[in-house]
Structure 1
């Protein structure tokens, strides 16, 4: 969920939706008991919505009683970004529970949502979490793609659903907000931590964290994708395939699951099946690496014009990456279109002046 810092600000969006979306609520059982029922060690998962006395005082001062709930929540959100009072700062890797986010005065969207829910609930306001399906961050991890989920705080208000988002862009009603229970919010919290562990080169730790995430949020497809990536990294390829297929069963539109399953199939030589899978998938929101994978499969199978189109799509989605342009050059060269191949290499050189690999390819022409 990377965003430029100058886009970060409080957002307060309203749109028509069923109030039931925000009624997913949390578990009424004690936190430790709820986790134990899902076979998760309570000692390993802090309650992301725990409220400290200092947090409670801050919320009461920022949003005093006597005003309608939307006004109180808007005041609370403004206070979190007021440099003279708090100043919540964005940190992409800061996946934190509410007390730690409050103490550090920062974090990512999960940390913000945890904090906002905890503060709002301390005021007696019925806030819940929601998963913003269309606003996630996909990151390339080797041949695979991992996903950081984007969450928001929500509250029903008459016929509307109030959405409180970390980013300045308004929540897109068309993208959909999936309601999350408190256990599912904890699952997303763990899922993003697991992605951090994968990116840090600690797949065994990631596997432990993501296994707990799936136990808490078994219906969230992106968590199964993350689990599959961790399993792949520790050499459990058959289990990784099961995880990717489970993710696709949970949500057939989960592009990262299609990408990672296709990568797995291609790695064991099933290129035709991998390409069929990607061509059948809805790639409308697919990131550049998925189109690059599709193009590589098309190139390997001799579908050269299709490969060029896929590589160009990958470049359009990842304009600062030279990899799609080098792929275009390979495909055009295979088609015997040498001027087009040279043009693609020159595009790559413009992006990365002095790159020895690009220069070598150009010098060899």
Structure 2
């Protein structure tokens, strides 16, 4: 899952005063390294512990007013230092109770928490799923991710999205509402993947199978079970999981790559070649994959390759200001400053008001650098 900065994409109201909780806030516990305890049931994943329930009623529900005000107070309760003071942790796939206990969450845990508490507060809320995202971080650059969730809110006939990551670019389909069962499939799949990486084969298998009990066509869990069984040498079982994943999602990149490699290993060259061809076609037509290849080329110092990949990403998804910004960087690397100027201006046009200043600073910096270079050439 992709999400890094604790920032709401959209809040519908203005900041309002809230009532103080009557009970003193307990300190956060130290999170466990792995999920070795009993597997939580679906009801346990979403259960609100008594301490959090008391805080919710004191800070959000008891002051009254309308749903917009309650939504604002809920956000404040979750993020304020005298509330939960929730912090981001990429590995924190927690139940609602665990999120309260440890005060940490990734995008999935946050979404489950927010939707559960919003519903308890009388606010219409749902979990939403995005198949692909790209996120930009100030220090780490860009991260391409398959799979992301956030919260959808309905208030007074209006719709809003609440997301941990304010720098995320969704795929063209954008967030889509999903059932609670599918949201729980995400939870169990995340836990299964974490246990697999920790070397807990039995625990991983149990969690991934629990994911499929929530949604039997959940591609990520099917693919992860294929990986798990392949690592254990159960190649026929791994093949069955990969093919089930591709039946559910014929263009799923990870399953295509894994299945084609396994079939080649099993000597099924013709079927492996068919999947490889499909994989190549998917990659060629996916702007996010082309962008990711551009990032790799840029980091390797290959400006020409980066330009080719970024331009292809833009042909496939031309309204993404982030892609134009990446292409501008590649043009600077190649020494083509007029093209870099053009792409920066295009990024500024597409980025909207919130990003106007950022891109103008980049343009000003580039133009100052060009004047400095011209001055050096004159002398």
Report TM bin, short chain. 0.5 to 0.7
Asked whether the equivalents of residues 148 and 195 of structure 1 are also in contact (C-alpha less than 8 Å), the reply is: no
Deviations 1:138-181 (A, max 9, x none): xxxxxxxxx87422122334554322112223674834323222
Residue 294 of structure 2 corresponds to which residue in structure 1?
Answer: 316
Q: 1:128, CA displacement in angstroms? A: 1.9
Asked whether the equivalents of residues 197 and 206 of structure 1 are also in contact (C-alpha less than 8 Å), the reply is: yes
Distance 1:96 1:156 in 2: 25
Distance 1:174 1:78 in 2: 31
Q: 2:163 matched to 1:165? A: yes
Q: 1:279, CA displacement in angstroms? A: 2.5
Q: Does 1 or 2 have the higher relative contact order (CA < 8 Å, sep 6+)?
A: 1
Q: CA 1:104/1:263 → structure 2, altered by over 3 Å: closer, same or farther?
A: same
Q: CA 1:195/1:181 → structure 2, altered by over 3 Å: closer, same or farther?
A: same
TM-score, normalized by length of structure 1?
0.63
Distance 1:103 1:76 in 2: 17
> Root-mean-square deviation (CA), in Å?
3.3
Asked whether the equivalents of residues 262 and 275 of structure 1 are also in contact (C-alpha less than 8 Å), the reply is: yes
Distance 1:54 1:314 in 2: 43
Residue 203 of structure 1 corresponds to which residue in structure 2?
Answer: 201
Residue 50 of structure 1 corresponds to which residue in structure 2?
Answer: 47
Residue 246 of structure 2 corresponds to which residue in structure 1?
Answer: 248
Q: 2:103 matched to 1:105? A: yes
Q: 1:68, CA displacement in angstroms? A: 2.9
User: What SS does the corresponding residue of 1:258 show, helix, strand or coil?
Assistant: helix
Deviations 1:240-299 (A, max 9, x none): 2222222222223322222222222233352533432322435544877xx9xxxxxxxx
Q: CA 1:132/1:314 → structure 2, altered by over 3 Å: closer, same or farther?
A: closer
Distance 1:56 1:177 in 2: 29
Asked whether the equivalents of residues 193 and 204 of structure 2 are also in contact (C-alpha less than 8 Å), the reply is: yes
Deviations 1:312-345 (A, max 9, x none): x8753435987x99xx9xxxxxxxxxxxxxxxxx
Distance 2:202 2:111 in 1: 28
Q: CA 1:13/1:224 → structure 2, altered by over 3 Å: closer, same or farther?
A: farther
Distance 1:319 1:194 in 2: 32
Residue 82 of structure 1 corresponds to which residue in structure 2?
Answer: 80
**Count of matched residue positions in the alignment of Structure 1 and Structure 2:** 265
Deviations 1:83-141 (A, max 9, x none): 2322111111110000110111112111111211222222132322122222389xxxx
Distance 2:68 2:241 in 1: 41
Distance 2:259 2:69 in 1: 46
Which ranges in structure 1 are unaligned for 5 or more consecutive residues? 15-42, 138-146, 292-312, 329-365
Distance 2:213 2:80 in 1: 38
Decide which of 246, 255, 258 is 2:256's aligned counterpart: 258
Distance 1:190 1:135 in 2: 21
Distance 1:136 1:260 in 2: 22
Distance 1:173 1:63 in 2: 34
Distance 1:207 1:81 in 2: 34
Residue 31 of structure 2 corresponds to which residue in structure 1?
Answer: none
Q: 1:238, CA displacement in angstroms? A: 1.8
